[in-house]
A and B are shown apart, each in its own frame.
Chain A
Amino acid sequence: MEDKVVLKKMGRRKKLRERIRENPKWQKASTVILPLIFGIILVGLWQGQVLHRLFHTDTFTLPLLDKIGSIMADNKEKLLENTFSTLQVSLMGLVIGSILGYLMALLASFFPKFGQGGLAVIGAFASIPVVAMAPVFNNWTKDISRDASFRSMISKTIVVMLICAADMGLNAYKGLTNLKPYALDLMAIYASSRKKIFFKLRLPNSIPYVFSALKVSVPASIMTAIVSEYFAEYITGVGRQIRENIVLAQYSTAWAYIATACLIGIFAYAILMILQSIFLKRYH
């Protein structure tokens, strides 16, 4: 009797379930396996039409996965073409916008008095809905080129750029000014110049914030590009195809493009995560 009590207290004979749960290898694997199982169940429910019964819908509005897949396979070229045009806009907007946003944050951190107010205005800019901005810029850029496909691309890129710039500006400003307590005092004790403080302290401190901005603006850039396509003069892109097909009641095809949009988003996010793990290594 006594022996048993001692054993229990020392925790040597844990239940199998607990042992598995505490195994670090399992913990690591479970972050992959559990969502995977969930995904497989979801696919099964979808394909088996259980979802349709659950949500009182039909295979018309929510087409089966094999149907969506076969449409995607049949129209690879058209899908790629539209994906390319959407990606082009969202990437260009993302890169230019993020750089602009960071520069704005730099300016704001050099002139904090004006900076904070200025960034608040930019933040307000970001809350203008894309559906309002897109037609405005579509009209605004009509004169920049005789080529409709080019000027459409520019107008879409500007909208994406503004959204990304605001996001990056606000976050990077936080990163440049929200320093660790006493860090600034320490630099002052070392009699560092403003330049040194900037390069040794502010800049490195802003990098994690840059990535948290990107985590929002990468998916946002794709979404914004897709919505801007609705209003563009030149008919191209994943978003425009979704709209065209829904109006013609081609839901399966629309879903094929929705799936494409999802895939673009997932891939972009995955690439961002890889980049983050490379750049943020020294911060952990």
Chain B
Amino acid sequence: MKKRMKRILCMLLTASLAVGAFVGCGESQKETTSTAENEKKEELTSKDIIEKAAKDGKVGNWGLGNEYEVLALLAKYDLPTDFLSQDFTMDGFDDDSITLASAMTYNELGLVKNDYEGGYGYKDTVEYIDMNDEGVAMLEDNIFCSKDFAKENPETVAAFLYASFKGWEYAVENPKEAAQICYEYGSSVSKEHQEYMADEVAKLVSTDTKGEKVSDIGNMDEDAMKQTLDIAKKYVSLDDADANEKFQNLTLDDIRDTSFYEKAQASDGKFNVEKKKVSIQLKWLPDAQFMGYYVALDKGYYKEVGFEDVNIVSGGGDIAETTAVNNNTVDFGVTWETNLASADASGMNLVEIAQIFQRSGLVLVYKPENY
């Protein structure tokens, strides 16, 4: 009996030791930076905030091609271009391991501010630095396809743009209804967040980088595209020497074609589509970021221009939309100009046919009490 007790005690001891070892990892080191806190600062400029965050090494971004605006911003203030890898939650921002975190206005910023399901409920206690204001905005969601596809199916491309623009137009005017439609088509987020997203996405589609109203949906603004490509050339470095050289020599004419946009704009809505069943690859999970396509599908705009079936293909963390379009798995795709340019530099043959988001949706969000 005694022996048995001894054994049990021994087991318990080792078990508690093992648990202790794990718990030890989670114990927080509370090194308070009291010196910085005590000094009450008057007005903080975005420069002060970026400098402090960079000095602490607490600037966050997701990487994977999303980081170039942040790199450009850091370089603008002569700071080292290091950043922490953010996961697809805002937990790092919440627990202060990242004090200047990347967020899209239409997604993460909403989660940080609001207190619905999945939100962190910071309300208006958080502030943010807008890439558009800092002059380092890069263009995001566009519509693209392969050059061969565009050449062989010009009517299809123009018709797809026409109907998609119509969908976007409706969505921008009625974001609440668009959110509802997205939700019904199988959303990855809650209904409340979907409505928040629709409102914010509508702003991106109808306002340009300078904050002015844009009336033509899908317009490819020369200056904004040029700025995007210039920043990309500066901060994208490809290890493949051939691809890198090609990337540096890219011009806007290599990566965009305005003819389909003009054709769609001038059209009366009648097309002779060559391919009646088409598909579009989204850059991310289905939600109001892509509401225009869902609205066009739901309202029958695609049918009106002659399509039998339009398949909206969901993206996700590591889906390379450029690859999917390049190997003809899908006909159209939504990506960012930088991704398209780097894909073309490494040998793909893709072309942008419309620019849906007219300004950058990226902001760096921070809690003022950390500065």
| A residues with CB within 8 A of B | 58-61, 67, 70-71, 74-75, 78, 107, 111, 114, 135, 137-148, 154, 158, 231-235, 243-253, 256
Residues of B within 8 A of A140 (CB): 25-26
Once A233-B85, A244-B64 are accepted as A-B contacts, the answer to whether A250 and B238 lie under 8 Å apart by CB is yes
Once A143-B26, A235-B63 are accepted as A-B contacts, the answer to whether A248 and B87 lie under 8 Å apart by CB is no
B211-250 CB contacts (< 8 Å) to partner A: 236, 238-241, 243
CB pair A111–B10 under 8 Å, yes or no, is yes
CB pair B239–A249 under 8 Å, yes or no, is no
List 4 extra interface pairs beyond A146-B29, A247-B320, A247-B339, CB under 8 A: A140-B25, A248-B236, A250-B240, A250-B346
Give the distance in Å from the alpha carbon of A250 to the alpha carbon of B65 in the complex.
11
CB pair A114–B11 under 8 Å, yes or no, is yes
CB pair B339–A249 under 8 Å, yes or no, is yes
| B residues with CB within 8 A of A | 7, 10-11, 14, 25-29, 31, 57, 63-65, 84-85, 87, 91-92, 95, 97, 236, 238-241, 243, 318, 320, 322-323, 326-327, 339, 342-343, 346-348
Residues of B within 8 A of A75 (CB): 239
Give the distance in Å from the alpha carbon of A231 to the alpha carbon of B317 in the complex.
12
Residues of A within 8 A of B27 (CB): 143
Residues of B within 8 A of A143 (CB): 26-29
CB pair B57–A249 under 8 Å, yes or no, is no
Once A114-B11, A142-B95, A143-B26 are accepted as A-B contacts, the answer to whether A252 and B346 lie under 8 Å apart by CB is yes
User: Can you list 9 pairs linking A and B with CB atoms under 8 Å apart?
Assistant: A60-B326, A61-B323, A146-B29, A148-B84, A158-B25, A232-B85, A235-B85, A248-B346, A250-B239
Residues of A within 8 A of B92 (CB): 142, 233
CB pair A231–B347 under 8 Å, yes or no, is no
Tally of contacts, chain A with chain B, CB under 8 A: 104
Give the distance in Å from the alpha carbon of A111 to the alpha carbon of B3 in the complex.
11
What is the chain B residue whose CB lies nearest that of A115?
B11
Residues of B within 8 A of A70 (CB): 241
CB distance from A106 to the nearest CB of B (A): 11
Give the distance in Å from the alpha carbon of A137 to the alpha carbon of B87 in the complex.
13
Give the distance in Å from the alpha carbon of A88 to the alpha carbon of B49 in the complex.
35
Residues of A within 8 A of B241 (CB): 70-71, 74
Across the interface, A74 reaches (CB within 8 A) one of B91, B239, B318, namely B239
Give the distance in Å from the alpha carbon of A145 to the alpha carbon of B240 in the complex.
35
CB pair A60–B348 under 8 Å, yes or no, is yes
What is the chain B residue whose CB lies nearest that of A151?
B97
CB distance from B236 to the nearest CB of A (A): 8
- Max count, chain A CB within 10 A of own CB: residue among B85, B239, B243: B239
CB distance from A53 to the nearest CB of B (A): 16
Closest 10 CB pairs of A and B: A249-B343, A143-B28, A253-B239, A247-B64, A248-B342, A249-B322, A142-B97, A75-B239, A253-B240, A252-B240
What is the chain B residue whose CB lies nearest that of A75?
B239
CB distance from B207 to the nearest CB of A (A): 28
Give the distance in Å from the alpha carbon of A4 to the alpha carbon of B7 in the complex.
78
Give the distance in Å from the alpha carbon of A135 to the alpha carbon of B92 in the complex.
12
Give the distance in Å from the alpha carbon of A143 to the alpha carbon of B27 in the complex.
7
What is the chain B residue whose CB lies nearest that of A230?
B318
CB pair B320–A249 under 8 Å, yes or no, is yes
CB distance from A244 to the nearest CB of B (A): 6
CB distance from B232 to the nearest CB of A (A): 11
CB pair B57–A231 under 8 Å, yes or no, is no
Residues of B within 8 A of A61 (CB): 323, 327
Give the distance in Å from the alpha carbon of A252 to the alpha carbon of B327 in the complex.
16
Across the interface, A249 reaches (CB within 8 A) one of B26, B28, B91, B323, namely B323
